């Protein structure tokens, strides 16, 4: 195991200069859950759910784009142990710009440009076009991602992967919305409750309990210790 890597049972993120770093530990987690193929299956399941979720689908300009492949390759590359599939795929992408709402055009070639395409998706209400992701968007996204990981059996195959993955998502969701990381653990628990899943599906795949809330009201949905834990997901 590389110097400075967590112990075999330690899910703490490896950080260098504020940036996440994959290492022997994360590569071992990837192998433990079945490798990159398992991650890509999780991402394919996630996008099936996102396409059916009216709130998330408004950010997805086209279902024809290889969304799940790109996200899966990005996670695999971050974890390490299977080369650089995201970098390799990115080098082959078309540089043609896509047309967005409000006359915007963008070449989708990395995460930043993909976010711009989502903010200016022609599916969004005109009044919302250009608005960045909000806390409710991030919570909706995280819940479906963890649900997909659970359904694909990744969390059962490796509980330590589940603990690490929750921290990993909490770290990167900050890019979408800086207030979202404390909600990752609640988002992972959400899919353990059959009644919540049934309610979501019966509501037309809508998460009625996260949208339209103030930040204070959203925080009130978390256990007190998670509201106040400003060091997570980085401490032991």
**Dihedral sign, CA of 80, 83, 84, 85?**
negative
Report the distance separating Cα 5 and Cα 14, nearest Å.
7
Task: Please give the pLDDT value at position 199.
Answer: 97
Beta-carbon contacts of residue 193 (< 8 Å; ≥ 6 apart): none
Cβ–Cβ < 8 Å for 236, 11: no
Residue-level pLDDT, tens digit, the chain, 236 residues: 333 344 446 567 777 767 888 899 999 999 999 999 999 999 999 999 999 999 999 999 999 999 999 999 999 999 999 999 999 998 988 888 888 888 878 888 888 888 889 999 999 999 999 999 999 999 999 999 999 999 999 999 999 999 999 999 999 999 889 999 999 999 999 999 999 999 999 999 999 999 999 999 999 999 999 998 888 898 76
At residue 10, the pLDDT reads 54
Contacts of range 102-105, beta carbons closer than 8 Å, 24 or more positions apart: 102/129, 102/130
182: DSSP letter: G
pLDDT (0 to 100) of residue 7: 43
**CA neighbours closer than 13 Å in the CB half-sphere of residue 69:** 10
pLDDT of residue 236: 63
């Amino acid at each position: 195991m590389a110097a400075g890597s967590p112990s075999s049972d330690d899910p703490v993120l490896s950080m260098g200069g504020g940036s996440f770093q994959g290492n022997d530990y994360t590569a071992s987690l990837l192998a433990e859950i079945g490798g990159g193929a398992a991650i890509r299956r999780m991402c394919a399941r996630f996008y099936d759910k996102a396409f059916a979720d009216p709130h998330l689908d408004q950010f997805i300009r086209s279902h024809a784009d290889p969304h799940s492949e790109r996200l899966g390759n990005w996670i695999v590359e971050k974890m390490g142990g299977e080369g650089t599939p995201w970098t390799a795929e990115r080098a082959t992408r078309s540089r043609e710009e896509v047309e967005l709402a409000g006359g915007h055009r963008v070449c989708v070639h990395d995460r930043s440009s993909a976010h711009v395409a989502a903010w200016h998706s022609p599916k969004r209400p005109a009044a919302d076009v250009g608005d960045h992701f909000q806390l409710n968007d991030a919570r909706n996204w995280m819940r479906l991602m963890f649900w997909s990981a659970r359904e694909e059996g990744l969390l059962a195959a490796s509980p330590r992967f589940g603990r690490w993955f929750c921290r990993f998502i909490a770290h990167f969701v900050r890019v979408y919305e800086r207030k979202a990381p404390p909600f990752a653990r609640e988002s992972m628990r959400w899919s353990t409750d059959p009644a919540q899943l049934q309610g979501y599906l019966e509501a037309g795949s809508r998460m009625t309990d996260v949208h339209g809330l103030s930040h204070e009201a959203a925080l009130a949905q978390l256990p007190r210790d998670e509201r106040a834990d400003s060091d997570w997901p980085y401490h032991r």
